[in-house]
Structure 1
Amino acid sequence: MQMLDQVQKQKIATGEGFIAALDQSGGSTPKALKGYGIEEGAWANDEEMFGLIHAMRSRIITSPVFTGDKVLGAILFERTMDGTVDGKPTPQALIERGVVPFIKIDKGLEDEANGVQVMKPNPDLDILLHRAKGLGVFGTKERSVINLANREGIAAVVKQQFEIGSQVLAAGLMPIIEPEVNIKSPERAEADAILLDELLKALDALPADQQVMLKLSLPVQPGLFDPLVDHPRVLRVVALSGGFARPEACVELAKNRGIIASFSRALLNDLRHQMSDDEFNASLGEAIDEIHGASVAKTPVAA
């Protein structure tokens, strides 16, 4: 088993900040570009589309406000990892800014069964993990979705997540296990409770020298996930915004001790392609400050 980078591990374990999620993939890229002020007709093919989203991510990563002081890590899409920022491989550009790189590794979701969507098969995962490790990436993120409080379905999600997590650990990387509870679920509170139970069983079964990270939807009941925050097999618990707008996401996050943000839309929502660099940096800085406050001080910054 390969070793984790201990400096990066320490930063993620104890750093006062949050993780930026910059990992929208193919299906959600047009939506992300539209939010950024670039309409669908602005590109002729996928290569041009991915070029535009890479330019957006590069602009974020090179912004003077995007540094390791408040942004502990950033989750990248595979194409972003393989690209360059300021002439350097993207993971290297992040490391030089004090930001720990992660990569999204799942290949999307299967159709719903038993109230959940497990991840699609990923036969080339070991190749991707080896490439990521070589580029200086610290960890991975893999997402499943829970729509209903179905124990059989939730148990299947957790089992698959921890199997992939073991593969990631063996490659010398840190897995972020992400069983997302849909915040629009009519059974959200019950799903939270079943998920907590299944996660604790899976964590207790891990070898004593192994740790994983967890990326979870903010629970209906504040503090529900405290046992996960305190678990010796958990390096850090991070939260997704899950469709909440930033003010609401920050309010919910601030109610949960020990959990830091890993927001995507709630971080990027106010950024526009047409902004001047000064406007762009000011808007991004405001979002970073607000999310940092909710993650660390547990006090939502007044918008």
Structure 2
Amino acid sequence: MFEQQLHKMRDAEGFIAALDQSGGSTPKALRLYGLESWADDEEMFDKVHEMRTRIMMSPSFDGKRILGTILFQDTLARQVDGRPTADYLWNVKGIVPILKVDKGLLDMEAGARLMRPMPDLDAVLAAALEQGVFGTKMRSVILEPGGGLAAVVEQQFDVGEHIFRAGLVPILEPEIDIHSPLKAEAEEQLHDALLSHLDQLPDDHWVMLKLTLPETDDLYLDLVRHPRVLRVFALSGGYTRAEANERLARQHGIVASFSRALTEGLSVHQSAQEFDALLDESIRSIFDASRSPMEV
């Protein structure tokens, strides 16, 4: 199964659907979906799983256009249509399951937010492997260039190596805030730091990268072509779907890993036909924007 999933993630057309809203981002996701209240966290997570299940079971949500889906740990522990979520994705839909493993962010320091400690990471990775999960994702946030950015990259690669040695392929996500007044400068520093760390990886290691859509088109093209990089994805980062797609289409070899842009406009109040039609249009537009070839 790993070899089949590896082949799909490396070679197939498509993009990643990010359905990994965690405790901090779930309330906003539910309100955008048209749900305003819930009794407690348990009900909140029940409701967001119902939303995710509706998306995953839609006829529009298929492995012909979607490479993989990033899941929150709570989602991995639940079922979709009577099957464990990862099993449903891979064996019913042909979509590679990926698990978000970070536990949120530390406070801002030196223009960046590092990931919180992950004391149970080994247990999480072991459980993910048992369920047929291919890879992981973990997010840090960068506001400006400098020492904090360097620390983010160092942490991402350190944890990423641990994950790879455990048998999964990590997605490193050092997100640069799209509202940063120094976004372009931070992107240049991030590019150089990523390239330096990639050049130091052993020949038998791979990582995937999930990066903010850059101000300079094709800034990350040499990372796309790097032998230690399985795939480079773009996050929508707060851009509308239209703007994210327009920016993405200019980046050769990069495909989407969208969350808010993917679910934009979906509502609990829509009929099944309305919901599926809007999701299909969203998936089609993101798939089309992700089809820029690696060659310039």
Residue aligning to 1:208: 203
1:16 and 2:13 are equivalent in the alignment? yes
Q: What's the secondary structure of 1:142's corresponding residue?
A: strand
> Could you tell me which of 276, 280, 287 is aligned with 1:292?
287
The whole-number CA distance in structure 1 between the counterparts of 2:3 and 2:197 is: 24
Aligned residue number for residue 194 of structure 2:
199
Instruction: Show CA shifts across 1:15-55 (max 9, x none).
Output: 1000000000001111000000001x2x1111111000000
d(CA) in 1 for partners of 2:280, 2:286:
10
Give me the whole-angstrom Cα distance separating, in 2, the residues matched to 1:171 and 1:133.
9
Partner residue, 1:131: 127
Gaps of 5+ in 2: none
1:261 maps to what in 2? 256
Q: Are 2:151 and 1:121 equivalent residues in the alignment?
A: no
The CA deviation at 1:167 is 1.1
Q: How does 1:222-237 map to 2 (within 5 A)?
A: 222-237=217-232
Q: Which residue of 171, 174, 178 corresponds with 1:183?
A: 178
* 2: CA distance, partners of 1:28 / 1:225: 28
- 1:144: which partner in 2? 140
In 2, the alpha carbon distance for the partners of 1:171 and 1:9 equals 16
Structure 1 distance, partners of 2:6, 2:213, is 24
Per-residue displacement from partner, 1:225-249 (whole Å, max 9, x unpaired)? 0110010000000000000000000
Aligned-residue Cα RMSD (Å) equals 0.9
Secondary structure of 1:176's counterpart equals: strand
Report the Cα distance in structure 2 between the residues aligned to 1:143 and 1:181, rounded to whole angstroms: 10
CA distance in structure 2 between the aligned counterparts of 1:272 and 1:77, rounded to whole angstroms: 20
Aligned to 1:251: 246
CA contact (8 A) 2:254 2:292 kept: no
Which sections of structure 1, spanning at least 5 residues, go unmatched? 299-303
TM-score by length of 2: 0.97
What CA distance in whole angstroms lies between the structure 2 residues aligned with 1:239 and 1:115? 21
5 Å matches for 1:146-161? 146-150=142-146, 152-161=147-156
* Mapped contact 2:250–2:292 kept (Cα < 8 A): no
Residue of 8, 25, 28 corresponding to 2:25: 28
Q: Is the 2:111–2:144 Cα contact (8 Å) retained in structure 1?
A: yes
* 1:82 paired residue number: 77
Q: Residues 144-176 of structure 1, C-alpha deviation per residue, up to 9 Å, x if partnerless?
A: 0000111x2111101100111011101110100
State the one-letter code of the partner of 2:159. I
Amino acid at match of 1:189: A
Which amino acid in the other structure matches residue 77 of structure 1?
F
TM superposition shift of 1:297:
4.7
Give SS of 1:55's match.
helix
Aligned to 1:301: none
> What SS does the aligned partner of 1:296 have?
coil
Give me the TM-score of the superposition, normalised by structure 1.
Answer: 0.95
Could you tell me how far apart the structure 1 residues matched to 2:80 and 2:30 are?
19
Question: How many residue pairs are counted as aligned between the two chains?
Answer: 292
CA contact (8 A) 2:253 2:292 kept: no
Alpha-carbon distance in structure 1 between the residues aligned to 2:77 and 2:264: 25
Q: Which runs of 4+ in 1 moved over 4 A?
A: none
Per the alignment, residue 95 of structure 2 pairs with: 99
Distance 1:167 1:79 in 2: 22
Displacement of 1:217: 0.1
For residue 258 of structure 2, give the secondary structure of its aligned residue in structure 1. coil
One-letter amino acid of the counterpart of residue 14, structure 1: D
Are the equivalent residues in 1 in contact too, given 2:30–2:48 (CA < 8 A)? yes
CA distance in 2, matches of 1:44, 1:155: 42
Residue-by-residue CA offset, 1:64-96 (whole Å, 9 max, x unaligned): 110100011000000001100001000001002
Matches of 1:198 and 1:28, distance apart in 2: 29
1:48 lines up with 2:43 in the alignment: yes
Identity of aligned residues (%): 54
